[in-house]
Amino acid sequence: MTKKFIILISGLFLGGALSGQEVWAQGESKSIKFSGVVVGGKQAEILPGAHIFIANAGRGTATSNNGYFSMPVLPGDSLVFSYTGYKRQYFVIPRDFREASLSAKIELREDAVTLREVKIYPFRNFDEFKKEFLSMTLPDAREREALARNTDPDYIRKMAIQQGDGINTGFRMSQDQIQNYNTNKGFANTIPFFNPFAWASFIKSVKDGKLKDNSWKELYKDTPTLNTNRDSYIRQQRGN
């Protein structure tokens, strides 16, 4: 009698423990390895970098270069597959799925938007285009104008007249003045006003009409005045 009672009590405790273990196993959410490939379009092209998001878990992943993906999920998870230019695709893990892994091929459909053809014409006709093209200013127009002006022979001649003498010319003139002083320092200065030969030459010039000859002015026509500068001289020549 005593042995039967002990066996009965042991059976009750063991059965209760097994029943509790079975209930705990049924309530546990087992992780599933979900893997597959994502393709899209009519040609089922591989879609690398496609985004996979689990809304209820707030996490996700992306496909590799060959469109493959692998991630842990739970029964009942809802996954969203998205890719630029394709419609979103939803996939739900079955709640009664009890396997350790699950594989699937996810196909996305193209999300094409057809737009009406739009033709853009900047000009109403070819004549307007030709007119605008001929009047177009080139990017280096100012540089071309400056180059043509600076290489013009008349411009170079005018700048040479205005430039004046250089250092070498001034030195040579000073040396000539010193030499003339040393040569004539022992002689008395003569005044042409009292020189009869100078008067004879002057009278002859008057008779020949040389005083009315103004051809010498042509030599100084392009020479700028002493109280002017380069800019004012150029504006004067241009008539500004």
The top-scoring range by mean pLDDT among 64-73, 117-126, 154-163 is: 64-73
pLDDT surpassing 90 at residue 127: no
82-85 CB contacts, 8 Å cutoff, 24+ apart: 82/50, 82/51, 82/53, 83/38, 83/40, 83/47, 83/49, 83/50, 83/51, 83/108, 85/110, 85/111, 85/112
Please, which pLDDT band fits residue 7 given cuts at 50, 70 and 90? very low
pLDDT surpassing 60 at residue 146: yes
In angstroms, the CA 87 to CA 112 distance is 9
pLDDT surpassing 50 at residue 108: yes
> What was the pLDDT predicted at 22?
37
Q: Judge contact between 86 and 109, C-beta under 8 A.
A: yes
| Domain extent listing, the chain | 29-108
Once rounded to an integer, what is the mean pLDDT over residues 47-71?
Answer: 90
Choice among 72-81, 113-122, 216-225 with the minimum mean pLDDT:
216-225
What fold does the segment set 29-108 form as a domain? Answer: Immunoglobulin-like (2.60.40)
Pairing of strands 51-54, 101-108: unpaired
Please, which pLDDT band fits residue 226 given cuts at 50, 70 and 90? low
Please, which pLDDT band fits residue 227 given cuts at 50, 70 and 90? low
pLDDT surpassing 90 at residue 69: yes
